[in-house]
Amino acid sequence: MTATIKDVAAHAGFSIATVSRALNAPHTVSPITLAKIQAAIAALKFQPSALGRQLRAEHTGLVGIVLPTLANPVFAETLQGIDEAAGAAGYRLVLMTTQYDAQREQHALEILRGQRVDGVIITVTDGNSNPLLDALEADHLPYVLAHNDTACRPSVSVNNRRAARDGVRVLVAQGHRQILMVAGSLNASDRARQRHLGYCDAMQEAGLEPRAAIEVDFNAERLSPATFARLFEGANRPTALFCSNDLLAMVVMRALRAAHLEVPRDMSILGFDGLSMGELLSPALASVCAPNREIGTQAWRQLRAQIQARLPAAANGATLIDDGRQPQRLGLTLPHSIRHGATIAPYVGEKSEPTAAAPAAPLTASGSTRRA
């Protein structure tokens, strides 16, 4: 018959509550008591329930991860950085995705609270003004934002505004004056909003008039006919497009090909993210590059510093490994770079007109449009 915690308590001569404390918070019982209980556990070959210990423990060794989607490789790369670092420290991940929906963000955090995670790494729609993050702070649950570019909360990102500005400067340097930005829904991503501000900065710096971004729903897998037509409406049709992420840039390129327009001869394209798959395209995609995997690694290090600060020295649960790193400051900004792909060419004069207004067929399941 399998021994129970009640059997251990009777064998050691202590209450069930004392045995429970010895299992889940050994620093709260005396060394003599702990030794007797451990001897009883060994004698009875008692195996504590992992689920039961998790429900009772002060420290569970679980970390919640809340990301908009895994369909965009940006977040898959970020998750890989988190997983490698957290796994090496003995922690396990509980993953939730939100599809850029604020209600799903709230639901995800409720689920993670129920799992009693030790902390959360999260990407939200808005990192500055967010009642969900306010609630985490009120509950003293450690968290770090990944990709949300804010100095007022624990976060790791690139400077999205500056990075976008530097990217659009490349288009301006190639002689382009009519530059349009194509973005995911600005209401659903503070990163897209900051990148649009960077686009405006570069345009105004060059004495050019910035335009409102053409927004694409984050679940869209192709450009609608109306959206495609907006790329060419008005007298000053663009000669270059700045896309708020690489997957969106790929969808735009496919729509242009379907309209018998050639990239970069008829339209230069710049993406944002620096996805390695962009280099496999023909032509290879020019992009503003973010260190997505490193963002995940650094977010974990920030979170772990917070968790460690809350744990007693003899915390039980996951194996805690000290990597000797110091806690990071709020709003850690990592460097970006520009990948000069073949989708940008110098502006040389009038461009071809599209021969079809219909957008291209949707991408395959592995190429769904998503925003970073």
For residue range 272-318, list pLDDT tens digits in order. 999 999 999 999 999 999 999 999 999 999 999 999 887 664 343 44
Contact, 308 vs 301, CB < 8 A? no
* Residue 127's pLDDT band (cuts 50, 70, 90): very high
The pLDDT of residue 57 is: 52
For residue range 17-43, list pLDDT tens digits in order. 788 778 766 767 788 998 899 899 989
Classify 349 in phi/psi space as left (phi over 0), alpha (psi -120 to 50) or beta.
left
Cβ neighbours around 364 below 10 Å, total: 8
Higher pLDDT, 151 or 313: 151
The pLDDT of residue 238 is: 95
What is the mean pLDDT of the segment spanning 79-107? 94
For residue 54, pLDDT over 90 is answered with no
What percent of the chain shows pLDDT beyond 70? 84
For residue range 233-284, list pLDDT tens digits in order. 877 899 999 999 999 999 999 999 999 999 999 999 999 999 999 999 999 9
Domain 62-158+292-334 listed as CATH 3.40.50.2300: yes
What is the mean pLDDT of the segment spanning 363-370? 36
Closest CA to 108 of 88, 73, 138, 135: 135
Closest CA to 344 of 227, 246, 240, 252: 240
C-alpha neighbours within 13 Å on the C-beta side of residue 229:
5
What residues does CATH 3.40.50.2300 cover in the chain?
A: 62-158+292-334, 160-290+336-367
Residue 156: both structure tokens together: 């790791």
* b (16+ CB within 10 A) / e for 228-265: beebbeeeeebbbbbbbbbbbbbbbbbbbebbebebbe
The pLDDT of residue 29 is: 76
Residue 106: both structure tokens together: 């709230």
Lowest mean pLDDT among 18-22, 73-77, 116-120, 195-199: 18-22
Q: How far is CA 278 from CA 38, 70, 159, 224, 247, in A?
A: 56, 17, 21, 23, 9
Q: How many residues does the chain have?
A: 372
Name the H helices within the chain.
5-12, 16-24, 31-44, 50-56, 73-88, 102-114, 131-138, 160-173, 190-205, 225-230, 246-258, 292-310
Higher pLDDT, 278 or 364: 278
The pLDDT of residue 365 is: 32
Residue 51: both structure tokens together: 């689920």
Residue 78: both structure tokens together: 């970020």
Class of domain 160-290+336-367: alpha beta
Angle at 298 between CA 94 and CA 338, to 5 degrees: 115
The pLDDT of residue 194 is: 97
Q: What is the DSSP track for 145-194?
A: EES---SSSSEEEE-HHHHHHHHHHHHHHTT---EEEEEE-GGG-HHHHH
The pLDDT of residue 351 is: 57
The pLDDT of residue 355 is: 59
What average pLDDT is seen over the chain? 86
Contact, 178 vs 239, CB < 8 A? yes
What residues does CATH 1.10.260.40 cover in the chain?
A: 5-56
Domain 5-56 listed as CATH 1.10.260.40: yes
Residue type, 313: A
